[in-house]
Amino acid sequence: MTKVVLVDKNDNQIGLEDKVKAHLGQGILHRAFTILVFNNKGEVLIQKRAKNKMLWPLVWETTCSSHPLENETYERAGERRLKDELGFTCPLKLVDKFVYHSIYKDIGSENEFCVLLKGEYNGGVEVDPSEITEWKWISLSDLRKDIEESPDNYVPWLKISLSLISA
């Protein structure tokens, strides 16, 4: 059973909870991170979530998102999950932090203290099909245009993350 780190709005740990339980109903505020990895052409790698995901299945999101383990830095957690989900890792730097709450249908919600991490990578990608159904490199301008035209195709935290990085 995977646990997430429960926090207050200042990212102070206040407990641990089962990952699924923390996402049910209104959710319980917990630590999370999301990553934007760019290539040397300035394109960002995005992924479409697997159909078995409880929240936002088959919806486009950032390069990778997950939860740090207890006593794990956000950067280390991000590097670990990149390797697990996409078959590569790269150095990550903290860009910003935000708290958000988004409800998904009548299933559950994200209620997260989220850290935005950024990296650069130019090699191959080998996705874990239990996490990702599709992936692509896309320019920020094309991504922003598509989000404007089809907002429901993208997760809330991707939209927030794009607002926190420079074009």
Q: In the chain, where are the structural domains located?
A: 3-163
Average pLDDT, stretch 135-147?
97
How far is residue 122's CA from residue 120's CA, in Å, rounded to a whole number?
Answer: 7
- 3-163 belongs to which homologous superfamily? Nucleoside Triphosphate Pyrophosphohydrolase (3.90.79.10)
pLDDT tens digit string along 83-128? 999 999 999 999 999 999 999 999 999 999 999 999 999 999 999 9
* 112 is known as an active-site residue: yes
**Active-site residue, selected from the candidate residues 112, 120, 134, 148:** 112
| Residue 1 pLDDT grade (very low, low, confident, very high; cuts 50, 70, 90) | confident
- What pTM does this model have? 0.96
